[in-house]
C-alpha cells in the first residue's frame, strides 16, 4: 500500500459486509497502517440499504467523500471520453485520481474501461 490511500467501490463494501476474507485482509491492513480509506458518497448510496451492525462497523473505518462540483465535472469529462463507463465508476476513479489512491473493486473490468482517462490510477481486486 504505497499510495496515499485507498478508494473502495461498492463491490468492496458488499464483500466486507459478506465477510469475504480478501476484502477484510485489505481493510484490516489499511486500518493497521493508518492508510486512509475513502468511499465516494455515491458508492455509499449504492451500498447502504439500512442500518445494520455489519454496515456500521464497515462504515466506521472509512472517510466519506461528498461529491463536489469539481469531482463531478472530472467524472463527467471521463464519461465523455469513455461512453461505455458508468457514472459511479467514473466518480470512483476521479476521486482516487485526485489523491493518488489505489482503487479496490470486485469488478476490475468495469473500472479498467476508464484507464484511458485515468492512466495513473491503479486498480486491484478483492
The pLDDT of residue 91:
98
pTM of the model: 0.93
Residues 6 or more apart whose CB falls under 8 angstroms from that of 66 comprise 41
Cα gap 4→1, rounded to integer Å: 8
Query: Which residue in the block uniquely carries the three cell numbers 493508518?
Result: 34
**Grid coordinates in use for 83?**
461512453
pLDDT in the model for residue 69:
98
pLDDT at 2: 46
CATH number assigned to the domain covering 5-125 = 3.40.50.1010
- The predicted structure's pLDDT at residue 1: 40
Question: Domain-by-domain residue ranges, the chain?
Answer: 5-125
- Which pLDDT does position 93 carry in this prediction? 98
Averages of pLDDT over runs of 10 residues in the chain (126 residues) are: 81 95 96 96 95 91 96 97 95 97 94 94 96
Check residue 4 and give its pLDDT.
84
Of all helices (H) and strands (E), which one includes residue 124? strand 123-125
- What are residue 65's phi and psi, to 5 degrees? -100, 120
pLDDT of residue 123: 97
| pLDDT reported for residue 3 | 55
| DSSP state at residue 18 | T
Amino acid at each position: 500500500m504505497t499510495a496515499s490511500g485507498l478508494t473502495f467501490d461498492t463491490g468492496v463494501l458488499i464483500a466486507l459486509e459478506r465477510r469475504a476474507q480478501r476484502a477484510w485482509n485489505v481493510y484490516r491492513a489499511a486500518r493497521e497502517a493508518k492508510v486512509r480509506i475513502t468511499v465516494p458518497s455515491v458508492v455509499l448510496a449504492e451500498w447502504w440499504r439500512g442500518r445494520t451492525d455489519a454496515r456500521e462497523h464497515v462504515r466506521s473505518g472509512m472517510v466519506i467523500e461528498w461529491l463536489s462540483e469539481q469531482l463531478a465535472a472530472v467524472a463527467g469529462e471521463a464519461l465523455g471520453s469513455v461512453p461505455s463507463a458508468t457514472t459511479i465508476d467514473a466518480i470512483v476513479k476521479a476521486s482516487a485520481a485526485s489523491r493518488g489512491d489505489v482503487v479496490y473493486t470486485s469488478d476490475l473490468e468495469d473500472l479498467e474501461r476508464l484507464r484511458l482517462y485515468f492512466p495513473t490510477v491503479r486498480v486491484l481486486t478483492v
